[in-house]
Amino acid sequence: MIKNFDGSFPDPSELVLEYTPTFDLSQFKPQVGDIFRFYISERFFLNSNTNITSRNISGTTFYTPNSDIVDIAIHCGCLFAHPKSSGLTRRWCTVLNFFEALCNEDKYQKVAEVIELSNYAQVKGLLLDILIDNTLPSYYSSTRNGLKSKSFNSLTDYSIRVINYKILTKFDRIPRIAEPSKYVRSRIKMPVFKFAFNREIGVNYSIEVFSSLFNPETINNDFFTIYRLFFDINQNRYEIRYSDEDGNFWLTQLENPIDVKELKTRKSKKTKEKILFDRLTFFDIVPTPTGINVKGTLFEPISTILVPMFYGKILIGPKAKISQD
């Protein structure tokens, strides 16, 4: 059975899967977009310490289907034991800025904010949401939180990545465990990649995809400081831009559509464009099944969405910034 995923954690009546070392995810015949929620007892984390550097895990952020789920949780920083603790003195750790720390290995040690959990809380386990995602051409190795993953240079049926988790303590109720045959998985709609009119790779337009990029949360978290939001209609390219100064948007049409690859590499951020609307509020831009409605003017059918970074180097930290170094 399948239900829509809402991102919330279970009420006492919701059934979840229980992790065991022999658990086989393939019994569910996973499809891209499926989400599985696991309860993992803290005892399964006890044998996973920093002295173990070769385990059944391949990949970084995106992992191969045969990767162990506990090892994925440790490698991502959801929950792991402090390397200098054991037995009665065991101290549990987690990565506070989990999603920000999903970065390259050379940046991980500087970016990841590892914190120790209070012994008073008495960790009981972990609730973990994993998403079945598209396969990667290859999976690279990295060492995180004392655990080294393997590399794998081949396509797989799908990849696995963590999208949500919650550490359970003595103050939390342990969720109800489902028999695999009775478990109801969740599902989300995944973006579909396609070629734009100039053969660049973009994302096929849908209300869900557009709304995931253009919403109050992404705006407040500096999405438009780091990224540019383009969309194509036939062979015309448009851009939605945002001003931090007054909080307004404007819609432009590029007179000579430029490849986003060039936008990412050239120093000048200026392009020849025509301003179609300015001083727009968030509520002036409304997605429709085939495009967007801007103050009563329809822009449709949108074929492709492209989201390149601004020119510059991204500095990851408490506040994302742009550097022109």
Specify the pLDDT at position 168: 94
Q: Is residue 49 part of a domain?
A: yes
- Residue 278 DSSP label: E
Q: Are residues 287 and 238 in the same domain?
A: yes
Q: Is residue 61 part of a domain?
A: yes
Q: What is the mean pLDDT of residues 231-255?
A: 92
Number of domains in the chain: 2
pTM of the model: 0.69
Looking at the chain, the whole-number percentage of residues with pLDDT higher than 90 is 50
128 pLDDT more than 90: yes
Q: Are residues 171 and 201 in the same domain?
A: no
The residue whose two tokens read 């995602």 is: 133
User: Considering just the CA atoms, what is the radius of gyration of the chain in Å?
Assistant: 22
Q: Is residue 316 part of a domain?
A: no
Cis peptide before 216 (omega within 30 of 0): no
310 pLDDT more than 80: no
Q: What rounded mean pLDDT belongs to the chain?
A: 84
Q: Are residues 121 and 211 in the same domain?
A: no
Q: Are residues 177 and 59 in the same domain?
A: yes
64, with CB counted inside 10 A (0-12, 13-18, 19+), is: buried
Distance CA 55, CA 132 (A): 21
Specify the pLDDT at position 49: 42
Q: What is the mean pLDDT of residues 174-188?
A: 90
- State whether the Cα torsion 262-268-272-274 is positive or negative: positive
Q: Is residue 244 part of a domain?
A: yes
Q: Is residue 42 part of a domain?
A: yes
74 pLDDT more than 90: yes
Q: Are residues 33 and 168 in the same domain?
A: yes
Q: Go through 293-314 and write b for each residue having 16 or more CB atoms within 10 A of its CB, e for each that does not.
A: ebeeeebeebbbbbbbeebeeb
Quick check: 166 and 130 in contact, CB under 8 A? no
Q: How many CB atoms lie within 10 A of CB 275?
A: 10
Q: What confidence tens digit (pLDDT) does each residue in 45-61 have?
A: 875 444 444 468 999 99
Q: Is residue 145 part of a domain?
A: yes
Distance CA 306, CA 23 (A): 39
Q: Are residues 207 and 179 in the same domain?
A: no
Q: Are residues 207 and 120 in the same domain?
A: no
More confident residue, 257 or 229: 229
Q: Which of 187, 222, 238 is the last residue of a domain?
A: 187
Q: Is residue 69 part of a domain?
A: yes
Return the structure tokens found at 77: 């920083």
Looking at the chain, the whole-number percentage of residues with pLDDT higher than 70 is 82
Q: Are residues 79 and 176 in the same domain?
A: yes
Distance CA 140, CA 24 (A): 23
Q: Are residues 210 and 173 in the same domain?
A: no
Specify the pLDDT at position 226: 80
Specify the pLDDT at position 9: 60
Distance CA 237, CA 87 (A): 60
Q: Is residue 72 part of a domain?
A: yes
Q: What confidence tens digit (pLDDT) does each residue in 137-170 have?
A: 899 999 999 899 999 999 999 999 999 999 999 8
Q: Which of 137, 158, 187 is the last residue of a domain?
A: 187
Q: Helix (H, G, I), strand (E, B), or coil: what is residue 130?
A: strand
- The closest of 66, 73, 82, 76 to 39, measured between CA atoms, is 73
pLDDT band at 267 (very low <50, low <70, confident <90, very high): very low
Q: Are residues 276 and 254 in the same domain?
A: yes
The residue whose two tokens read 């655990």 is: 147
Range of weakest confidence among 36-50, 207-221, 280-294: 36-50
Return the structure tokens found at 296: 């009563």
Specify the pLDDT at position 190: 81
Q: What confidence tens digit (pLDDT) does each residue in 6-55 have?
A: 555 655 567 899 999 889 999 999 999 999 999 999 989 875 444 444 46
Q: What is the mean pLDDT of residues 97-101?
A: 86
The residue whose two tokens read 């342990």 is: 174
Q: Are residues 65 and 138 in the same domain?
A: yes
Q: Which of 123, 155, 187 is the last residue of a domain?
A: 187
DSSP-derived pairing of the beta strands 193-195 and 201-204: antiparallel
Q: Are residues 27 and 138 in the same domain?
A: yes
pLDDT band at 275 (very low <50, low <70, confident <90, very high): very high
- Expressed as residue numbers, the domain containing 124 is 17-187
257 pLDDT more than 70: no
Specify the pLDDT at position 52: 44
Q: What is the mean pLDDT of residues 200-223?
A: 90
